Chain A
Amino acid sequence: MDDVQKRLLEEVADLHKIPVGAYNIRANGKLEGRATTENINIVTKEDKPGIDIFVKDGTVNESLHIPVILSQSGLEDLVYNDFHIGDNCNVTIIAGCGIHNGGDKSSRHDGIHTFYIGDNSKVKYVEKHYGEGDGSGENIMNPTTIINLGKDSYMEMETVQIKGVDSTVRDSKAVVGDGSTLIIKEKIMTHGKQKAETNFKVDLNGMDCSCDVISRSVAKDASHQRFCSEINGNNKCMGHTECDAIIMDDASVSAIPEITANCIDASLIHEAAIGKIAGEQLIKLMTLGLTEKEAEEQIVNGFLK
């Protein structure tokens, strides 16, 4: 692996060396390295690009890294990754995609991740998207996440896109079962002429299930973001969606929440707030000795932390 690829790996997966536990590293559309453990197996799909991951019942405190890196300009990569997670598990999955595009052609990665999570399991899923490169070619990422949560399970999805992705459409769909909880935390920062679109659709089908979809974003320069979250309460359930965005310069942000209660015992809330950085926040930090620009950076970094 060359230096550019190593740096991408560091950015998207905080990996400085070969990770502990199971991993599958995909570089420029090919398998770069893989390790399995007694409880976590990774198998290459035969009918289409991608992998099947099998986590045995009762697997606790194990981690899985599946980063994808693209350093070859103009490459279009599509993968289907399916996660089959058993009952009574507690695992952390770190995915992510880093693109370095030094050329003038678009580089594109579309990852379609499907989760089948059993009963009484806990999954933390972290996904980080990062792009760089001095070429004029665009970095495009369109991740799709499909989540099927069983009974009394818990999934926390953390999705972060801070830098360098020119265009993204992020679709996430979830079906939540009896007693299960789904937490989604999204953080996005766009700059230049970037476009980011996020669509969440959660079906709260189970008795006493819940979800919390939280998006925090910063749109700078002439970038545009669009956030749609749809929550359907089809049983006795609790659902909450929140979009909080800071706009700067000539950026624009749309937030479109849609909550539907199809059951008398469904309790759903949506909140959305978009605005520029409050003047008094800047002033407060300036009275501590920061310049206006430094104050702005602190506020943005804190907001997206």
Chain B
Amino acid sequence: MIELKNVSYSVNDDNNNVDIINDVSLTIDERFVAITGPNGGGKSTLAKLIAGIIKPTKGNIYLDGKDITDASITERANLGISYAFQQPVRFKGITVMDLIKLAAGKDISVNGACDYLSQVGLCARDYINREVNASLSGGELKRIEIAMALARSTKLTVFDEPEAGIDLWSFQNLIEVFEKMHEKINGSIIIISHQERILDIADKIVVISDGKIAAQGTKEEILPEVLKGTGNCKFYDKKEC
């Protein structure tokens, strides 16, 4: 269970403090939680605050009741937080196998690594020894990023727009991947997404807009409003889009 209590994050822009996240309190212990909302609303910032990549300027973050506000990225990773980046990072010379091994935290067999890769629709034999460099497409990198989260299988995983760059054909598989992952970890999966089909499997949907929680609730409560579009959505109207 992850809890944010009165968390704010602001940056200094031309001597003005700009709040990216403004006094957000949020508790997540459901299976699947989807975070949605307009671009620039603070979704990725929230993910980075949870992973420890940035630290809140105010407020506290708790993992299973333990205050992790001051814990480093590494400490949080070891406590069971995983974060699949929106824009995966490329590494010259480091292979797909190397990354899967590092994610798994142990020396796994080629077959073991292949299993994770095939779940995200990559033919493992073709990829295992490829370098994670510019020769891989954005969609391929994105799938490898998801495979790493699978290999880690920690109790909390944050996926930042996992569907971006993945072709529609594999979309159903992606959802199956999340379902299967949940069976294994028995924790929470937070998915930042704009996709109706992902929002549709969520136990809870959180709408973040203008650095605040605009709404949260079940998909029955939230989805109809979100799907009306930004023009007349009551959760979105605070921000000029």
Which A positions have Cβ atoms within 8 angstroms of B?
216, 244, 278, 280-281, 283-292, 298-299, 301-305
Closest to A295 in B: B74
Whether A288 contacts B77 by the Cβ 8 Å rule is: yes
* Residues of the B chain whose Cβ atoms lie less than 8 Å from the Cβ of A299: 91, 94
* Residues of the A chain whose Cβ atoms lie less than 8 Å from the Cβ of B93: 216, 301-305
Which B positions have Cβ atoms within 8 angstroms of A?
51, 53, 72-74, 77-78, 81-83, 85, 88-89, 91-95, 98-99, 102-103, 105, 148, 152
Whether A288 contacts B91 by the Cβ 8 Å rule is: no
* Residues of the A chain whose Cβ atoms lie less than 8 Å from the Cβ of B73: 283, 286-287
Kindly state the separation between the CA atoms of A244 and B88 in the bound complex, as whole angstroms. Answer: 21
Total A-B contacts with CB atoms under 8 angstroms apart: 60
Whether A289 contacts B77 by the Cβ 8 Å rule is: yes
Which of the residues A281, A289, A301 comes within 8 Å of B74, measured between beta carbons?
Answer: A289
The smallest beta-carbon distance between A207 and chain B, in angstroms, is: 30
Whether A281 contacts B91 by the Cβ 8 Å rule is: yes
Which of the residues A244, A278, A302 comes within 8 Å of B98, measured between beta carbons?
Answer: A302
Most buried by A among B51, B72, B88, B93: B93
Whether B102 contacts A286 by the Cβ 8 Å rule is: no
* Residues of the B chain whose Cβ atoms lie less than 8 Å from the Cβ of A286: 72-74, 77
Whether A302 contacts B92 by the Cβ 8 Å rule is: yes
9 interchain residue pairs of minimum CB distance: A302-B94, A302-B93, A289-B77, A286-B73, A284-B89, A303-B93, A287-B83, A280-B89, A286-B74
The smallest beta-carbon distance between B141 and chain A, in angstroms, is: 11
Whether B82 contacts A281 by the Cβ 8 Å rule is: no
Most buried by A among B72, B74, B81, B98: B74
Kindly state the separation between the CA atoms of A53 and B219 in the bound complex, as whole angstroms. Answer: 77
The smallest beta-carbon distance between A87 and chain B, in angstroms, is: 34
Most buried by B among A285, A303, A304: A285
* Residues of the A chain whose Cβ atoms lie less than 8 Å from the Cβ of B53: 283, 287
Kindly state the separation between the CA atoms of A286 and B75 in the bound complex, as whole angstroms. Answer: 9
The smallest beta-carbon distance between B138 and chain A, in angstroms, is: 15
* Residues of the A chain whose Cβ atoms lie less than 8 Å from the Cβ of B152: 288-289
Most buried by A among B73, B94, B95, B98: B73
* Residues of the A chain whose Cβ atoms lie less than 8 Å from the Cβ of B98: 298, 302
Whether A298 contacts B89 by the Cβ 8 Å rule is: no
Which of the residues A281, A292, A303, A305 comes within 8 Å of B89, measured between beta carbons?
Answer: A281
Whether B74 contacts A291 by the Cβ 8 Å rule is: yes
The smallest beta-carbon distance between A188 and chain B, in angstroms, is: 14
Whether B89 contacts A288 by the Cβ 8 Å rule is: no
Which of the residues B72, B78, B92, B102 comes within 8 Å of A303, measured between beta carbons?
Answer: B92
Kindly state the separation between the CA atoms of A250 and B48 in the bound complex, as whole angstroms. Answer: 30
* Residues of the A chain whose Cβ atoms lie less than 8 Å from the Cβ of B92: 216, 244, 302-303
Most buried by A among B98, B102, B105: B102
* Residues of the A chain whose Cβ atoms lie less than 8 Å from the Cβ of B51: 287
Please give 9 more A-B residue pairs, beta carbons under 8 A apart, in addition to A284-B85, A287-B73, A288-B103. Answer: A216-B92, A283-B53, A287-B77, A287-B83, A288-B99, A288-B152, A290-B102, A302-B94, A302-B95
Kindly state the separation between the CA atoms of A283 and B85 in the bound complex, as whole angstroms. Answer: 10
Whether B102 contacts A285 by the Cβ 8 Å rule is: yes
Closest to B158 in A: A287
* Residues of the B chain whose Cβ atoms lie less than 8 Å from the Cβ of A278: 89
User: Contacts A287-B83, A288-B103; is A298 near B94 (CB within 8 Å)?
Assistant: yes
Whether B77 contacts A298 by the Cβ 8 Å rule is: no
Kindly state the separation between the CA atoms of A286 and B89 in the bound complex, as whole angstroms. Answer: 12
Closest to A278 in B: B89
Kindly state the separation between the CA atoms of A289 and B52 in the bound complex, as whole angstroms. Answer: 12
* Residues of the A chain whose Cβ atoms lie less than 8 Å from the Cβ of B74: 286, 289-292
Kindly state the separation between the CA atoms of A281 and B89 in the bound complex, as whole angstroms. Answer: 6
* Residues of the A chain whose Cβ atoms lie less than 8 Å from the Cβ of B99: 288
The 30 sampled A-B contact pairs (Cβ below 8 Å) are A216-B92, A280-B89, A284-B88, A284-B89, A286-B72, A286-B73, A286-B74, A287-B51, A287-B53, A287-B82, A287-B83, A288-B77, A288-B99, A288-B102, A288-B103, A288-B105, A288-B152, A289-B74, A289-B77, A289-B78, A289-B102, A289-B105, A290-B74, A290-B77, A290-B102, A302-B91, A302-B95, A302-B98, A303-B94, A305-B93
* Residues of the A chain whose Cβ atoms lie less than 8 Å from the Cβ of B78: 289
Most buried by B among A284, A287, A290, A292: A287
* Residues of the B chain whose Cβ atoms lie less than 8 Å from the Cβ of A244: 92
The smallest beta-carbon distance between A245 and chain B, in angstroms, is: 11
Kindly state the separation between the CA atoms of A155 and B9 in the bound complex, as whole angstroms. Answer: 57
Closest to B72 in A: A286
* Residues of the B chain whose Cβ atoms lie less than 8 Å from the Cβ of A216: 92-93
Kindly state the separation between the CA atoms of A71 and B63 in the bound complex, as whole angstroms. Answer: 56
Kindly state the separation between the CA atoms of A259 and B81 in the bound complex, as whole angstroms. Answer: 50
Closest to A292 in B: B74
* Residues of the A chain whose Cβ atoms lie less than 8 Å from the Cβ of B94: 298-299, 302-303
